[in-house]
């Protein structure tokens, strides 16, 4: 199983530790991951024009079994990726750091929602979820 990670991106990669925490929790659960910042842009080494970046991101989402949305921090791109996945019938799992706000609209399109306090808790959650195959 492969999951695309949708998360707000920062040009300075300040949330790289969060991205790596999520990817490691998925890996511990036997789920391979894809992340635009890590896999397409290689932590800022590669730059694409916006149209090409979105085309590549959508193609990567299409190649995944589910979308993991981290809403610890809200971002327009996260909503675009969630809407795309929903339209394509790709299951959405929404996670956020404990205390973060997850909108009702995102909860409404998610198969599961989880607030986490640690990588261990997140890995346990990923091991317990039963994601429907599309």
The CATH number of the domain holding residue 79 is 3.40.50.450
Give residue 129's pLDDT: 85
Summarised one tens digit per residue, pLDDT across range 33-84 is 999 999 999 999 999 999 999 999 999 999 999 999 999 999 999 999 999 9
Summarised one tens digit per residue, pLDDT across range 90-132 is 999 999 999 999 999 999 999 999 999 999 999 999 999 876 5
Give residue 59's pLDDT: 98
Name the domain count of the chain.
1
Q: What is the pTM of this model?
A: 0.94
Give residue 131's pLDDT: 65
Looking at residue 36, what DSSP letter applies? Answer: I
The boundaries of the domain holding residue 34 are: 2-128
Taking a C-beta distance cutoff of 8 angstroms, is the pair 93, 110 a contact? yes
Between the alpha carbon of residue 5 and those of residues 81, 133, the distances in Å are 9, 17
Give domain status of residue 133, yes or no.
Answer: no
Give domain status of residue 134, yes or no.
Answer: no
Measured CA to CA, the distance from residue 51 to residue 56 in angstroms comes to 9
Mean pLDDT of the chain: 94
């Amino acid at each position: 199983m492969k999951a695309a990670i949708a998360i707000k991106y920062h040009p300075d990669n300040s949330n790289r530790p969060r991205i790596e925490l999520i990817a490691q929790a998925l890996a511990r659960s036997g789920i391979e991951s894809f992340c635009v910042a890590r896999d397409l842009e290689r932590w800022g080494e590669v730059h694409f024009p916006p149209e090409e970046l979105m085309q590549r991101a959508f193609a990567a989402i299409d190649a995944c079994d589910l979308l993991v949305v981290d809403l610890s921090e809200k971002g327009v791109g996260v909503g675009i990726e969630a809407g795309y996945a929903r339209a394509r019938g790709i299951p959405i799992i929404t996670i956020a750091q404990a205390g973060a706000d997850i909108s009702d609209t995102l909860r409404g399109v998610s198969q599961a929602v989880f607030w986490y306090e640690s990588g261990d808790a997140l890995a346990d959650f990923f091991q317990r979820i039963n994601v429907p195959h599309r």
